[in-house]
Amino acid sequence: MNDLGTPGEMTSPGDEALLADIGRFMDELDPPPGDLVQRVQFALALENLDVEVARWERMNATAGVRGSDTGTITFTVSDLTVMINLTKIGKKHRIDGWLVPAGEYGVEVRVAEHGTSSTTADEGGRFVLDNVPQGTTQIVIHLGDVTCRRTVVTPTVVL
Amino acid sequence: MTDVQTTEVDPPWEGLTGADLHAACMRAARAGDRQAMDRLVHELTPLVWHVARANGLDRLTAEDVVQTVWLALFSQLEKLRDPKALAAWLITTARREAQHPFGRRAQPVPLTDELAESMESTHPAPEEEAVRADRDRRVWRAFLRLPHRCQQLLRLTVLAGRAEYQLVAEALRMPRGSVGPTRGRCLESMRDLLAHEGGSR
């Protein structure tokens, strides 16, 4: 504020100069991914937005299932854990899932530009979805009964 | 530039900018207007992104946090009455999500030299810019070594200085009025870091 620095001083750049650098780096080195806005918009394109958001848990933050042929993802929200095992078969995925605690809940997998596949978990909480296309994917789980409906959604992930 | 007003077609936020735009979009979004939501996401995703990144998240995790923040906003939009509070809400929620104790069990990748190098390598500098690139790398590295609190404050300061993010400036004025001095100390630390590794290259 009081010290605007002396531009051109190499060893000790002023505040304004440093902020200008940081701004440039934010744009050039660390911009949001180009398709992020679109993916958020897809994640929000739900009929009912009264949802709880589950968080992806990654074993290793840098080595998710993205880009690999198989992998397990876990996501959690308050009292529910969902494990998803992915197997790539040709250009499609087979998704084996497991809900804990178990329940016969409705499960939907939305893939951008490919619509929705849905199924119901068995009483052990297991479900299988075959032939899920690749792409920006979101998982939606319908919990509860008529008296208390809850919907849990995940952020989208490119699978 | 003087478009004929076609009120039936244009959304109510057409032609608005900054805080007015956000307020109009929030009103429409609260009434269920999906276009208004999309517009807000489009306008303010960079803000949420930079808060997530400033809190030390790798890029993939930051993407999840950005989405989580938006889903959380629109699932409880009626709770956020004052559009002026939008930026502060987005910033606070993004920071809280970034530091969420569960679901982020994999510790955020520390922003190390390695990351600075890899970022650099995705933007190879032409020969004639080698000197500038080298200086940039040192400055960026110094920035990444600052505490997350400082990285966040400085990123937000930069955004607040841009016309489309007036509301960030307002959000920054809110917490305890100590932003000016804190910012000064953060920049001073950055200069120290820069001085320490400076000269060697």
ipTM here: 0.82
In chain A, residues with a C-beta closer than 8 Å to the C-beta of B34 are: 44-45
Distance CA A119, CA A141 (A): 10
CA angle B129, B158, B191 (to 5 degrees): 65
Distance CA B133, CA B111 (A): 19
Subunit contact B71:A44, Cβ cutoff 8 A: yes
Residue ranges in A3-157 assigned as alpha helix (H): 15-28, 36-44
In chain A, residues with a C-beta closer than 8 Å to the C-beta of B119 are: 29-30
Q: Which amino acid is at B68?
A: T
pLDDT given at position B169: 78
Count of alpha carbons within 13 Å of B135, Cβ hemisphere only?
A: 11
Are the C-beta atoms of residues A86 and A131 closer than 8 Å to each other?
A: no
pLDDT in tens for each of the 201 residues of chain B? 455 554 456 888 888 888 889 899 999 999 989 999 999 999 999 999 999 999 888 888 899 899 999 999 998 888 888 888 898 899 999 999 888 744 444 444 444 544 555 555 555 556 667 778 888 889 999 999 999 999 999 999 999 888 778 778 777 764 545 567 889 999 999 999 999 875 444
pLDDT given at position A56: 78
Q: What backbone phi and psi angles, to 5 degrees, belong to B27?
A: -60, -50
Percentage above 90 pLDDT, chain A = 52
Among A52, A54, A60, whose Cβ lies nearest the Cβ of B106? A60
pLDDT given at position B119: 53
Q: Report helix, strand or coil for A124.
A: coil
Please give the interface size between A and B, counted as residue pairs whose CB atoms are below 8 Å apart: 140
Subunit contact B58:A57, Cβ cutoff 8 A: no
How far does the CA of residue A72 sit from the closest CA of chain B (Å)? 14
Q: What backbone phi and psi angles, to 5 degrees, belong to A139?
A: -110, 135
pLDDT at A34 over 90: yes
In chain B, residues with a C-beta closer than 8 Å to the C-beta of A26 are: 50, 155, 158
Among B128, B149, B65, which residue's Cα sits nearest to residue A33?
B65
List, as own/partner pairs, every contact residues B120-128 make where C-beta atoms lie below 8 angstroms and the sequence separation is at least 24, other chains included. Answer: B120/A29, B123/A28, B123/A29
Higher pLDDT, A11 or B40: B40
Distance CA A150, CA A50 (A): 8
Q: Which residue of A has its CA nearest to B48?
A: A32
What pTM was estimated for this model as a whole? 0.81
Distance CA A15, CA A21 (A): 10
Distance CA A23, CA B158 (A): 6
Higher pLDDT, A128 or B125: A128
Subunit contact B70:A57, Cβ cutoff 8 A: no
The two tokens of residue A133 are 């296309």
Distance CA B11, CA B148 (A): 39
Among A19, A44, A64, whose Cβ lies nearest the Cβ of B157? A19
Among A1, A41, A50, whose Cβ lies nearest the Cβ of B180? A1
Q: Report helix, strand or coil for B2.
A: coil
pLDDT given at position A140: 94
Q: What backbone phi and psi angles, to 5 degrees, belong to A32?
A: -60, 145
Instruction: Say which residues have a Cβ less than 8 Å from residue B20's Cβ, sequence separation at least 6.
Output: B13
pLDDT given at position B180: 79
pLDDT given at position B4: 52
pLDDT at A1 over 50: no
pLDDT given at position B47: 94
pLDDT at A142 over 90: yes
Distance CA B146, CA B154 (A): 10
Hey, of B75, B137, B188, which one would you mutate to test binding to chain A, going by the most A CBs within 10 A of its CB? B75
pLDDT at A138 over 60: yes
Q: What backbone phi and psi angles, to 5 degrees, belong to A25?
A: -65, -40
Q: Report helix, strand or coil for B50.
A: helix
In chain B, residues with a C-beta closer than 8 Å to the C-beta of A51 are: 71, 75
How far does the CA of residue B50 sit from the closest CA of chain A (Å)? 8
pLDDT in tens, A77-121: 888 999 999 898 888 999 999 999 999 999 999 999 999 999 999
How far does the CA of residue B60 sit from the closest CA of chain A (Å)? 7
Distance CA A100, CA B38 (A): 33
Q: Which residue of B has its CA nearest to A65?
A: B60
How far does the CA of residue A103 sit from the closest CA of chain B (Å)? 22
pLDDT given at position A157: 84
DSSP one-letter code for B129:
G
Chain centroid, CA B95 distance in Å: 10
* Per-position DSSP letters for B136-200, written without gaps between them: HHHHHHHHHTS-HHHHHHHHHHHHHTSGGGHHHHHHHHSSTT-HHHHHHHHHHHHHHHHHHHTT-
Q: What backbone phi and psi angles, to 5 degrees, belong to A15?
A: -55, -50
Q: Which amino acid is at B134?
A: D
Subunit contact A18:B191, Cβ cutoff 8 A: yes
Are the C-beta atoms of residues B103 and A76 closer than 8 Å to each other?
A: yes
Subunit contact A156:B157, Cβ cutoff 8 A: no
Hey, of A1, A3, A9, A18, which one would you mutate to test binding to chain B, going by the most B CBs within 10 A of its CB? A18
Are the C-beta atoms of residues A154 and A137 closer than 8 Å to each other?
A: no
- A133 forms beta bridges with A92
In chain B, residues with a C-beta closer than 8 Å to the C-beta of A55 are: 64, 68, 97, 100, 102-104
